[in-house]
Structure 1
Protein backbone atom coordinates (compact mmCIF):
# COMPACT_ATOMS: atom_id res chain seq x y z
CA UNK A 1 0.00 0.00 0.00
CA UNK A 2 2.87 2.35 0.80
CA UNK A 3 4.49 1.58 -2.56
CA UNK A 4 1.23 2.22 -4.40
CA UNK A 5 0.54 5.48 -2.55
CA UNK A 6 4.11 6.72 -3.10
CA UNK A 7 3.80 6.00 -6.83
CA UNK A 8 0.55 7.98 -6.99
CA UNK A 9 2.07 10.96 -5.20
CA UNK A 10 5.20 10.86 -7.39
CA UNK A 11 2.96 10.77 -10.47
CA UNK A 12 1.08 13.87 -9.22
CA UNK A 13 -2.18 11.95 -9.63
CA UNK A 14 -4.23 14.46 -7.63
CA UNK A 15 -4.22 17.67 -5.67
CA UNK A 16 -6.08 18.25 -2.41
CA UNK A 17 -8.85 20.85 -2.50
CA UNK A 18 -11.47 21.96 0.06
CA UNK A 19 -14.74 20.07 -0.09
CA UNK A 20 -17.88 21.95 -1.22
CA UNK A 21 -21.56 20.85 -1.08
CA UNK A 22 -21.98 20.78 -4.88
CA UNK A 23 -19.18 18.29 -5.54
CA UNK A 24 -19.91 14.81 -6.91
CA UNK A 25 -17.34 12.86 -4.89
CA UNK A 26 -16.56 9.23 -5.66
CA UNK A 27 -15.13 6.69 -3.25
CA UNK A 28 -11.59 5.40 -3.24
CA UNK A 29 -10.99 1.74 -2.38
CA UNK A 30 -8.03 -0.57 -1.86
CA UNK A 31 -7.93 -3.83 -3.80
CA UNK A 32 -5.57 -6.64 -2.85
CA UNK A 33 -4.62 -9.58 -5.03
CA UNK A 34 -2.04 -12.29 -5.54
CA UNK A 35 -0.03 -12.14 -8.76
CA UNK A 36 0.95 -15.59 -10.04
CA UNK A 37 3.60 -16.70 -12.51
CA UNK A 38 2.72 -18.81 -15.55
CA UNK A 39 3.71 -21.96 -13.61
CA UNK A 40 1.20 -21.16 -10.87
CA UNK A 41 3.71 -20.06 -8.22
CA UNK A 42 3.13 -16.86 -6.29
CA UNK A 43 5.00 -13.90 -7.81
CA UNK A 44 4.06 -11.09 -5.41
CA UNK A 45 1.38 -9.46 -3.33
CA UNK A 46 -0.22 -6.41 -4.89
CA UNK A 47 -2.24 -3.50 -3.51
CA UNK A 48 -3.98 -1.11 -5.87
CA UNK A 49 -5.94 2.07 -5.18
CA UNK A 50 -9.05 2.30 -7.35
CA UNK A 51 -12.04 4.59 -7.79
CA UNK A 52 -15.66 3.54 -7.48
CA UNK A 53 -16.72 4.79 -10.89
CA UNK A 54 -20.35 3.79 -10.39
CA UNK A 55 -21.11 7.23 -8.96
CA UNK A 56 -19.70 9.06 -11.98
CA UNK A 57 -22.23 11.02 -14.03
CA UNK A 58 -21.95 11.26 -17.82
CA UNK A 59 -21.50 14.88 -18.86
CA UNK A 60 -20.32 15.92 -15.40
CA UNK A 61 -17.21 13.90 -14.53
CA UNK A 62 -16.97 11.50 -17.47
CA UNK A 63 -17.64 11.51 -21.20
CA UNK A 64 -16.72 8.97 -23.88
CA UNK A 65 -15.59 5.70 -22.27
CA UNK A 66 -15.14 3.21 -25.14
CA UNK A 67 -11.62 1.82 -25.63
CA UNK A 68 -10.69 -0.83 -28.24
CA UNK A 69 -8.82 -4.04 -27.39
CA UNK A 70 -6.86 -6.19 -29.79
CA UNK A 71 -8.70 -9.01 -31.56
CA UNK A 72 -7.54 -12.63 -31.05
CA UNK A 73 -7.30 -13.10 -34.83
CA UNK A 74 -4.91 -10.14 -35.05
CA UNK A 75 -2.67 -11.67 -32.38
CA UNK A 76 -2.47 -14.96 -34.30
CA UNK A 77 -1.77 -13.14 -37.57
CA UNK A 78 1.09 -11.07 -36.14
CA UNK A 79 2.63 -14.12 -34.44
CA UNK A 80 2.42 -16.02 -37.75
CA UNK A 81 4.13 -13.18 -39.62
CA UNK A 82 6.89 -12.98 -37.01
CA UNK A 83 7.47 -16.74 -37.17
CA UNK A 84 7.61 -16.76 -40.97
CA UNK A 85 10.34 -14.09 -40.83
CA UNK A 86 12.14 -15.69 -37.82
CA UNK A 87 11.75 -12.46 -35.84
CA UNK A 88 12.04 -12.31 -32.07
CA UNK A 89 8.78 -11.63 -30.21
CA UNK A 90 8.98 -9.68 -26.95
CA UNK A 91 6.39 -8.96 -24.31
CA UNK A 92 6.28 -5.62 -22.50
CA UNK A 93 4.26 -4.53 -19.49
CA UNK A 94 3.34 -0.93 -18.71
CA UNK A 95 3.47 -0.34 -14.96
CA UNK A 96 0.33 1.38 -13.64
CA UNK A 97 -0.76 2.09 -17.21
CA UNK A 98 -3.95 3.97 -16.36
CA UNK A 99 -2.00 6.46 -14.24
CA UNK A 100 -0.34 7.80 -17.40
CA UNK A 101 -3.60 9.18 -18.79
CA UNK A 102 -4.40 12.89 -18.37
CA UNK A 103 -7.99 13.66 -17.41
CA UNK A 104 -9.96 16.28 -19.31
CA UNK A 105 -12.93 16.09 -16.93
CA UNK A 106 -13.03 17.36 -13.33
CA UNK A 107 -13.28 14.37 -10.99
CA UNK A 108 -13.31 14.50 -7.19
CA UNK A 109 -12.42 11.52 -4.98
CA UNK A 110 -12.27 10.92 -1.24
CA UNK A 111 -8.77 10.57 0.19
CA UNK A 112 -7.52 6.95 0.45
CA UNK A 113 -8.27 5.16 3.69
CA UNK A 114 -5.19 5.04 5.89
CA UNK A 115 -3.50 7.87 3.98
CA UNK A 116 -5.53 10.98 4.80
CA UNK A 117 -3.43 14.12 5.03
CA UNK A 118 -2.97 14.95 8.71
CA UNK A 119 -3.26 18.70 8.09
CA UNK A 120 -6.20 18.47 5.64
CA UNK A 121 -8.23 15.39 6.65
CA UNK A 122 -11.48 16.81 5.24
CA UNK A 123 -10.09 17.83 1.84
CA UNK A 124 -10.84 15.76 -1.26
CA UNK A 125 -8.66 14.75 -4.18
CA UNK A 126 -9.16 16.54 -7.50
CA UNK A 127 -7.80 14.01 -9.96
CA UNK A 128 -5.26 15.26 -12.49
CA UNK A 129 -4.36 11.81 -13.82
CA UNK A 130 -6.52 8.78 -14.49
CA UNK A 131 -7.05 6.04 -11.90
CA UNK A 132 -8.22 2.45 -12.17
CA UNK A 133 -11.98 2.26 -11.72
CA UNK A 134 -12.80 5.49 -13.54
CA UNK A 135 -15.20 4.92 -16.40
CA UNK A 136 -12.98 6.80 -18.82
CA UNK A 137 -9.66 5.36 -17.55
CA UNK A 138 -9.13 2.75 -20.34
CA UNK A 139 -9.91 5.27 -23.08
CA UNK A 140 -7.69 8.00 -21.59
CA UNK A 141 -4.73 5.62 -21.31
CA UNK A 142 -5.28 4.17 -24.80
CA UNK A 143 -5.37 7.65 -26.33
CA UNK A 144 -2.22 8.72 -24.49
CA UNK A 145 -0.37 5.62 -25.70
CA UNK A 146 -1.65 5.97 -29.26
CA UNK A 147 -0.62 9.62 -29.49
CA UNK A 148 2.92 8.74 -28.39
CA UNK A 149 3.58 5.71 -30.62
CA UNK A 150 2.37 7.66 -33.65
CA UNK A 151 5.18 10.16 -32.99
CA UNK A 152 7.66 7.26 -33.23
CA UNK A 153 6.61 6.58 -36.82
CA UNK A 154 4.00 3.87 -36.25
CA UNK A 155 0.79 3.79 -38.27
CA UNK A 156 -2.45 2.58 -36.72
CA UNK A 157 -4.14 -0.32 -38.50
CA UNK A 158 -7.58 0.50 -39.89
CA UNK A 159 -8.85 -3.07 -39.38
CA UNK A 160 -7.73 -3.31 -35.72
CA UNK A 161 -6.99 -0.11 -33.83
CA UNK A 162 -4.85 -1.97 -31.28
CA UNK A 163 -2.31 -2.92 -33.95
CA UNK A 164 0.44 -0.44 -34.83
CA UNK A 165 2.77 -0.94 -37.79
CA UNK A 166 6.21 0.61 -38.25
CA UNK A 167 7.81 0.54 -41.70
CA UNK A 168 10.84 2.62 -42.60
CA UNK A 169 12.95 1.35 -45.50
CA UNK A 170 14.02 -2.20 -44.63
CA UNK A 171 12.93 -1.83 -40.99
CA UNK A 172 9.54 -3.20 -39.91
CA UNK A 173 7.85 -3.63 -36.54
CA UNK A 174 4.44 -4.74 -35.30
CA UNK A 175 3.10 -3.65 -31.92
CA UNK A 176 -0.03 -5.06 -30.29
CA UNK A 177 -1.58 -3.58 -27.17
CA UNK A 178 -4.18 -5.09 -24.86
CA UNK A 179 -4.75 -2.54 -22.07
CA UNK A 180 -1.27 -2.59 -20.46
CA UNK A 181 0.13 -5.73 -22.10
CA UNK A 182 2.18 -5.25 -25.25
CA UNK A 183 3.62 -7.62 -27.85
CA UNK A 184 6.45 -6.20 -29.95
CA UNK A 185 8.15 -7.94 -32.87
CA UNK A 186 10.74 -6.25 -35.06
CA UNK A 187 12.86 -7.07 -38.10
CA UNK A 188 16.09 -6.44 -36.16
CA UNK A 189 17.36 -6.32 -32.57
CA UNK A 190 18.64 -2.77 -33.05
CA UNK A 191 15.15 -1.56 -34.00
CA UNK A 192 13.62 -3.41 -31.04
CA UNK A 193 16.08 -1.86 -28.59
CA UNK A 194 15.52 1.60 -30.07
CA UNK A 195 11.72 1.35 -29.85
CA UNK A 196 11.82 -0.12 -26.33
CA UNK A 197 14.14 2.67 -25.21
CA UNK A 198 11.72 5.28 -26.56
CA UNK A 199 8.76 3.62 -24.84
CA UNK A 200 10.65 3.29 -21.54
CA UNK A 201 11.55 6.97 -21.70
CA UNK A 202 7.86 7.91 -21.83
CA UNK A 203 6.21 5.24 -19.65
CA UNK A 204 7.18 3.14 -16.63
CA UNK A 205 7.71 -0.16 -18.44
CA UNK A 206 9.03 -3.67 -17.81
CA UNK A 207 10.62 -5.87 -20.47
CA UNK A 208 9.29 -9.37 -19.79
CA UNK A 209 11.61 -10.88 -22.38
CA UNK A 210 10.61 -13.32 -25.15
CA UNK A 211 6.88 -14.01 -25.29
CA UNK A 212 5.95 -16.88 -22.94
CA UNK A 213 2.61 -15.88 -21.38
CA UNK A 214 0.01 -13.49 -22.76
CA UNK A 215 -3.60 -12.91 -21.66
CA UNK A 216 -3.59 -16.14 -19.66
CA UNK A 217 -2.18 -18.18 -22.58
CA UNK A 218 1.16 -19.99 -22.11
CA UNK A 219 3.32 -19.68 -25.25
CA UNK A 220 6.08 -22.12 -26.20
CA UNK A 221 8.35 -21.42 -29.16
CA UNK A 222 10.50 -24.07 -30.81
CA UNK A 223 12.31 -22.97 -33.94
CA UNK A 224 9.73 -21.94 -36.53
CA UNK A 225 6.82 -23.25 -34.49
CA UNK A 226 4.83 -21.70 -31.67
CA UNK A 227 2.40 -23.57 -29.42
CA UNK A 228 -0.40 -21.64 -27.70
CA UNK A 229 -2.14 -23.53 -24.90
Structure 2
Protein backbone atom coordinates (compact mmCIF):
# COMPACT_ATOMS: atom_id res chain seq x y z
CA UNK A 1 0.00 0.00 0.00
CA UNK A 2 2.87 2.35 0.83
CA UNK A 3 4.50 1.52 -2.51
CA UNK A 4 1.23 2.30 -4.29
CA UNK A 5 0.92 5.65 -2.50
CA UNK A 6 4.53 6.46 -3.42
CA UNK A 7 3.62 5.84 -7.08
CA UNK A 8 0.63 8.16 -6.71
CA UNK A 9 2.88 10.87 -5.31
CA UNK A 10 5.61 10.36 -7.92
CA UNK A 11 3.10 10.61 -10.80
CA UNK A 12 1.27 13.55 -9.16
CA UNK A 13 -2.03 11.76 -9.56
CA UNK A 14 -4.06 14.19 -7.44
CA UNK A 15 -4.02 17.36 -5.42
CA UNK A 16 -5.92 17.82 -2.17
CA UNK A 17 -8.59 20.53 -2.39
CA UNK A 18 -11.62 21.69 -0.49
CA UNK A 19 -14.73 19.87 -1.79
CA UNK A 20 -16.52 22.09 -4.37
CA UNK A 21 -20.12 22.96 -3.57
CA UNK A 22 -22.62 20.54 -5.06
CA UNK A 23 -19.97 17.95 -5.98
CA UNK A 24 -20.16 14.47 -4.50
CA UNK A 25 -16.74 12.80 -4.84
CA UNK A 26 -16.52 9.19 -5.98
CA UNK A 27 -15.15 6.69 -3.49
CA UNK A 28 -12.09 4.48 -3.65
CA UNK A 29 -10.97 1.20 -2.12
CA UNK A 30 -7.93 -0.98 -1.71
CA UNK A 31 -7.74 -4.16 -3.78
CA UNK A 32 -5.25 -6.87 -2.89
CA UNK A 33 -4.03 -9.57 -5.26
CA UNK A 34 -1.23 -12.07 -5.77
CA UNK A 35 0.83 -11.82 -8.94
CA UNK A 36 2.18 -15.18 -10.10
CA UNK A 37 5.00 -16.20 -12.40
CA UNK A 38 4.85 -18.54 -15.41
CA UNK A 39 4.71 -21.60 -13.15
CA UNK A 40 1.89 -20.29 -10.99
CA UNK A 41 4.12 -19.42 -8.02
CA UNK A 42 3.30 -16.24 -6.07
CA UNK A 43 5.75 -13.55 -7.11
CA UNK A 44 4.31 -10.38 -5.57
CA UNK A 45 1.69 -9.45 -3.00
CA UNK A 46 0.20 -6.28 -4.42
CA UNK A 47 -2.02 -3.58 -2.96
CA UNK A 48 -3.75 -1.37 -5.52
CA UNK A 49 -5.88 1.73 -4.99
CA UNK A 50 -8.97 1.60 -7.20
CA UNK A 51 -11.55 4.32 -7.80
CA UNK A 52 -15.24 3.39 -7.63
CA UNK A 53 -15.82 4.31 -11.25
CA UNK A 54 -19.34 2.89 -11.25
CA UNK A 55 -20.38 6.11 -9.51
CA UNK A 56 -19.20 8.27 -12.41
CA UNK A 57 -21.81 9.97 -14.60
CA UNK A 58 -21.48 9.94 -18.38
CA UNK A 59 -21.10 13.43 -19.79
CA UNK A 60 -20.19 14.84 -16.37
CA UNK A 61 -16.92 13.26 -15.28
CA UNK A 62 -16.22 10.96 -18.22
CA UNK A 63 -17.00 10.71 -21.93
CA UNK A 64 -15.14 8.30 -24.27
CA UNK A 65 -13.99 5.01 -22.72
CA UNK A 66 -12.93 2.77 -25.62
CA UNK A 67 -9.34 1.56 -25.59
CA UNK A 68 -7.85 -1.03 -27.98
CA UNK A 69 -5.63 -3.97 -27.02
CA UNK A 70 -3.53 -6.15 -29.28
CA UNK A 71 -5.34 -9.18 -30.69
CA UNK A 72 -3.73 -12.45 -29.70
CA UNK A 73 -3.57 -13.53 -33.35
CA UNK A 74 -1.44 -10.44 -34.05
CA UNK A 75 0.94 -11.47 -31.27
CA UNK A 76 1.18 -14.97 -32.73
CA UNK A 77 1.82 -13.66 -36.26
CA UNK A 78 4.65 -11.38 -35.15
CA UNK A 79 6.17 -14.10 -32.98
CA UNK A 80 6.16 -16.34 -36.07
CA UNK A 81 7.85 -13.60 -38.14
CA UNK A 82 10.47 -13.09 -35.42
CA UNK A 83 11.13 -16.84 -35.21
CA UNK A 84 11.48 -17.23 -38.98
CA UNK A 85 13.95 -14.34 -39.27
CA UNK A 86 15.65 -15.05 -35.91
CA UNK A 87 14.81 -11.61 -34.50
CA UNK A 88 15.19 -10.69 -30.84
CA UNK A 89 11.97 -10.90 -28.77
CA UNK A 90 12.16 -8.87 -25.57
CA UNK A 91 9.51 -7.96 -23.05
CA UNK A 92 8.82 -5.01 -20.76
CA UNK A 93 6.14 -4.25 -18.21
CA UNK A 94 4.82 -0.78 -17.36
CA UNK A 95 4.53 -0.22 -13.63
CA UNK A 96 1.23 1.42 -12.60
CA UNK A 97 0.49 2.08 -16.28
CA UNK A 98 -2.85 3.83 -15.82
CA UNK A 99 -1.30 6.50 -13.58
CA UNK A 100 0.44 7.90 -16.67
CA UNK A 101 -2.78 8.84 -18.44
CA UNK A 102 -3.98 12.43 -18.27
CA UNK A 103 -7.67 13.16 -17.72
CA UNK A 104 -9.45 16.19 -19.12
CA UNK A 105 -12.60 16.03 -16.98
CA UNK A 106 -12.94 17.31 -13.40
CA UNK A 107 -13.01 14.20 -11.23
CA UNK A 108 -13.05 14.32 -7.43
CA UNK A 109 -12.35 11.32 -5.21
CA UNK A 110 -12.36 10.67 -1.48
CA UNK A 111 -9.01 10.18 0.20
CA UNK A 112 -7.76 6.58 0.45
CA UNK A 113 -8.47 4.78 3.70
CA UNK A 114 -5.50 4.61 6.04
CA UNK A 115 -3.74 7.64 4.53
CA UNK A 116 -5.84 10.57 5.77
CA UNK A 117 -4.07 13.12 7.96
CA UNK A 118 -6.05 15.06 10.61
CA UNK A 119 -5.22 18.46 9.09
CA UNK A 120 -6.56 17.42 5.67
CA UNK A 121 -9.44 15.24 6.83
CA UNK A 122 -12.11 17.43 5.15
CA UNK A 123 -10.36 17.67 1.78
CA UNK A 124 -10.90 15.54 -1.34
CA UNK A 125 -8.59 14.41 -4.14
CA UNK A 126 -8.86 16.31 -7.42
CA UNK A 127 -7.51 13.83 -9.95
CA UNK A 128 -4.92 15.08 -12.42
CA UNK A 129 -4.17 11.68 -13.91
CA UNK A 130 -6.19 8.54 -14.46
CA UNK A 131 -6.38 5.91 -11.75
CA UNK A 132 -7.41 2.27 -11.87
CA UNK A 133 -11.18 1.94 -11.77
CA UNK A 134 -12.02 5.16 -13.62
CA UNK A 135 -14.16 4.74 -16.73
CA UNK A 136 -11.64 6.61 -18.90
CA UNK A 137 -8.46 5.17 -17.30
CA UNK A 138 -7.58 2.61 -19.98
CA UNK A 139 -8.25 5.06 -22.82
CA UNK A 140 -6.18 7.81 -21.19
CA UNK A 141 -3.20 5.47 -20.79
CA UNK A 142 -3.46 4.24 -24.38
CA UNK A 143 -3.50 7.79 -25.74
CA UNK A 144 -0.51 8.73 -23.58
CA UNK A 145 1.51 5.70 -24.72
CA UNK A 146 0.64 6.27 -28.38
CA UNK A 147 1.83 9.86 -28.11
CA UNK A 148 5.13 8.85 -26.50
CA UNK A 149 6.03 5.95 -28.83
CA UNK A 150 5.29 7.98 -31.96
CA UNK A 151 7.73 10.64 -30.73
CA UNK A 152 10.41 7.94 -30.98
CA UNK A 153 9.54 7.34 -34.65
CA UNK A 154 7.20 4.35 -34.43
CA UNK A 155 4.21 4.18 -36.79
CA UNK A 156 0.90 2.75 -35.63
CA UNK A 157 -0.63 -0.02 -37.73
CA UNK A 158 -3.90 1.16 -39.26
CA UNK A 159 -5.67 -2.19 -38.88
CA UNK A 160 -4.17 -3.13 -35.49
CA UNK A 161 -3.80 0.02 -33.35
CA UNK A 162 -1.70 -1.70 -30.65
CA UNK A 163 0.99 -2.85 -33.08
CA UNK A 164 3.73 -0.38 -34.05
CA UNK A 165 6.55 -0.60 -36.57
CA UNK A 166 9.76 1.29 -37.30
CA UNK A 167 12.16 0.83 -40.20
CA UNK A 168 15.60 2.39 -40.43
CA UNK A 169 17.61 1.01 -43.32
CA UNK A 170 18.05 -2.71 -42.70
CA UNK A 171 16.94 -2.42 -39.05
CA UNK A 172 13.38 -3.60 -38.43
CA UNK A 173 11.43 -3.02 -35.22
CA UNK A 174 7.97 -4.07 -34.07
CA UNK A 175 6.28 -3.19 -30.79
CA UNK A 176 3.13 -4.85 -29.43
CA UNK A 177 1.12 -3.33 -26.57
CA UNK A 178 -1.42 -5.22 -24.49
CA UNK A 179 -2.55 -2.79 -21.75
CA UNK A 180 0.73 -2.67 -19.76
CA UNK A 181 2.59 -5.61 -21.33
CA UNK A 182 4.99 -4.76 -24.16
CA UNK A 183 6.75 -7.05 -26.62
CA UNK A 184 9.62 -5.55 -28.61
CA UNK A 185 10.83 -7.42 -31.71
CA UNK A 186 13.99 -6.25 -33.44
CA UNK A 187 16.87 -7.56 -35.53
CA UNK A 188 19.52 -5.41 -33.85
CA UNK A 189 20.35 -5.57 -30.12
CA UNK A 190 21.99 -2.10 -29.65
CA UNK A 191 19.03 -0.30 -31.21
CA UNK A 192 16.63 -2.54 -29.29
CA UNK A 193 18.33 -1.32 -26.12
CA UNK A 194 17.73 2.26 -27.25
CA UNK A 195 13.97 1.58 -27.41
CA UNK A 196 14.01 0.25 -23.86
CA UNK A 197 16.00 3.26 -22.68
CA UNK A 198 13.50 5.62 -24.33
CA UNK A 199 10.50 3.86 -22.79
CA UNK A 200 12.16 3.90 -19.35
CA UNK A 201 12.69 7.65 -19.68
CA UNK A 202 8.96 8.14 -20.36
CA UNK A 203 7.44 5.64 -17.93
CA UNK A 204 8.36 3.57 -14.91
CA UNK A 205 9.28 0.27 -16.56
CA UNK A 206 10.31 -3.23 -15.57
CA UNK A 207 12.71 -4.91 -18.01
CA UNK A 208 11.81 -8.60 -18.32
CA UNK A 209 14.56 -9.21 -20.92
CA UNK A 210 13.89 -12.08 -23.35
CA UNK A 211 10.19 -12.88 -23.56
CA UNK A 212 9.21 -16.10 -21.80
CA UNK A 213 5.68 -15.46 -20.53
CA UNK A 214 2.97 -13.21 -22.01
CA UNK A 215 -0.75 -13.05 -21.21
CA UNK A 216 -0.70 -16.33 -19.32
CA UNK A 217 1.17 -18.11 -22.13
CA UNK A 218 4.63 -19.64 -21.80
CA UNK A 219 7.02 -19.05 -24.69
CA UNK A 220 9.49 -21.81 -25.52
CA UNK A 221 12.16 -20.97 -28.07
CA UNK A 222 14.85 -23.02 -29.80
CA UNK A 223 16.81 -20.48 -31.83
CA UNK A 224 19.21 -23.07 -33.26
CA UNK A 225 16.27 -24.71 -35.05
CA UNK A 226 14.23 -21.52 -35.47
CA UNK A 227 11.32 -22.97 -33.54
CA UNK A 228 8.97 -21.34 -31.05
CA UNK A 229 6.21 -22.94 -29.00
CA UNK A 230 3.36 -21.52 -26.89
CA UNK A 231 1.87 -23.30 -23.88
CA UNK A 232 -1.08 -22.51 -21.60
CA UNK A 233 -0.48 -25.41 -19.23
CA UNK A 234 -0.53 -23.18 -16.13
CA UNK A 235 -3.92 -21.75 -17.14
CA UNK A 236 -5.30 -25.22 -17.86
CA UNK A 237 -4.14 -26.43 -14.43
CA UNK A 238 -5.80 -23.40 -12.86
CA UNK A 239 -9.13 -24.17 -14.57
CA UNK A 240 -8.96 -27.84 -13.58
CA UNK A 241 -8.23 -26.89 -9.97
CA UNK A 242 -11.12 -24.42 -9.95
CA UNK A 243 -13.57 -27.19 -10.89
CA UNK A 244 -11.96 -29.77 -8.57
CA UNK A 245 -10.54 -31.76 -11.50
CA UNK A 246 -6.87 -31.36 -10.63
CA UNK A 247 -6.38 -35.10 -10.25
CA UNK A 248 -8.05 -35.98 -13.56
CA UNK A 249 -6.26 -38.14 -16.09
CA UNK A 250 -4.33 -36.25 -18.72
CA UNK A 251 -4.73 -37.19 -22.36
CA UNK A 252 -6.64 -36.56 -25.57
CA UNK A 253 -10.24 -37.39 -26.45
CA UNK A 254 -10.27 -39.27 -29.79
CA UNK A 255 -12.56 -37.83 -32.48
CA UNK A 256 -13.45 -40.98 -34.38
CA UNK A 257 -16.85 -40.18 -35.84
CA UNK A 258 -16.78 -36.45 -36.35
CA UNK A 259 -17.40 -36.50 -40.12
CA UNK A 260 -19.28 -39.74 -40.74
CA UNK A 261 -21.87 -39.05 -38.02
CA UNK A 262 -22.29 -35.33 -38.68
CA UNK A 263 -25.80 -35.71 -40.11
CA UNK A 264 -27.01 -37.94 -37.30
CA UNK A 265 -25.45 -35.67 -34.62
CA UNK A 266 -26.62 -32.41 -36.25
CA UNK A 267 -30.12 -33.04 -37.64
CA UNK A 268 -31.42 -30.31 -39.89
CA UNK A 269 -35.21 -30.82 -39.92
CA UNK A 270 -37.65 -30.41 -36.99
CA UNK A 271 -38.62 -34.09 -37.28
CA UNK A 272 -35.01 -35.20 -37.03
CA UNK A 273 -34.41 -32.93 -34.04
CA UNK A 274 -37.39 -34.48 -32.25
Instruction: State the partner residue of 2:181.
Output: 181
Query: Within 5 A, what are the aligned runs for 1:188-227?
Result: 188-223=188-223, 224-227=226-229
Query: Within 5 A, what are the aligned runs for 1:1-229?
Result: 1-223=1-223, 224-229=226-231
Q: Structure 1: which 5+ residue stretches go unaligned?
A: none
Q: CA deviation at 1:118?
A: 2.2
Q: Could you state the TM-score of these two structures normalised by the residue count of structure 2?
A: 0.82
Q: Which whole-Å CA distance do the structure 2 matches of 1:162 and 1:212 have between them?
A: 20
Q: Which whole-Å CA distance do the structure 2 matches of 1:43 and 1:72 have between them?
A: 25
Q: Which whole-Å CA distance do the structure 2 matches of 1:120 and 1:83 have between them?
A: 56
Q: Which whole-Å CA distance do the structure 2 matches of 1:138 and 1:194 have between them?
A: 26
Q: Pick the structure with greater CA Rg.
A: 2
Q: Could you list the per-position Cα deviations for residues 124-156 of structure 1 after superposition, in whole angstroms to 9, with x for gaps in the alignment? A: 000001100000000000000001111111100
Q: How many residues align?
A: 229
Q: CA deviation at 1:213?
A: 0.6
CA RMSD of aligned residues (A): 0.9
Q: CA deviation at 1:205?
A: 0.3
Structure showing greater relative contact order (alpha-carbon pairs closer than 8 Å, 6 or more residues apart): 1
Between 2-11 and 183-192, the greater mean CA deviation after superposition:
2-11
Q: Which whole-Å CA distance do the structure 1 matches of 2:117 and 2:211 have between them?
A: 43
